[in-house]
Amino acid sequence: MNSLVTPRGPRLSLSELKAAAAEMRAMNMVSIFAAGSGHPGGTLSVMDIAAALYLNVLNQDPSNPTWPERDRVFWSAGHKAPALYVALGRAGYFPLDDVVFLRQLGSGFEGHPNCLKLPGVEVSSGSLGQGLGAAVGNALAARLRAAPRARRPPRPKRSSPCHRSRCRWWCRSPR
């Protein structure tokens, strides 16, 4: 976390986190039961991690989900979306009770996360394993935009001009 950024988001004690995780597990089961389908084993297995991240660790602002200084989480396993929805609801992105609309027509709580429908979802996912590529791509994009949190590595210093006549990216040799 960047020390220059004032932490935002909930910060719960260990006992509060345990209680929140239990509440989140219950809400997860209610939403999956109401939908009539889902992966309860997978969603329950990540609930403690989701509670710790979204309620204690992440620097986030639910009132401003696109805040540039926010920490980002990329869910590679899109079928564990109910756990993400419960964590986002508990963190304050939307009312927690809304997650009972999981997989309902017209609901933003789809079977896999959709970043165009719900605040706090960083990337739409579905295929297993795509989270790493999405996270790396977003990190590189932030680096290229020179976001305040991204730092560019120092450019290599050369004692002689670059042998490539059109090199502008790495060596910055005089032309």
Backbone angles phi, psi at 83, to 5 degrees: -65, -40
pLDDT tens by residue, 15-32 = 999 999 999 999 999 999
Sole residue written with tokens 């027509």: 105
pTM over 0.85: no
Domains, the chain, ordered by start: 14-144 (3.40.50.970)
Q: In whole angstroms, what is the distance from residue 19 CA to residue 43 CA?
A: 17
Determine whether 57 is exposed, middle or buried from the number of CB atoms within 10 Å of its CB (0-12, 13-18, 19+).
middle
pLDDT tens by residue, 116-173 = 899 999 988 877 778 888 899 988 888 887 655 545 555 556 555 555 555 554 455 4
Q: In whole angstroms, what is the distance from residue 124 CA to residue 75 CA?
A: 9
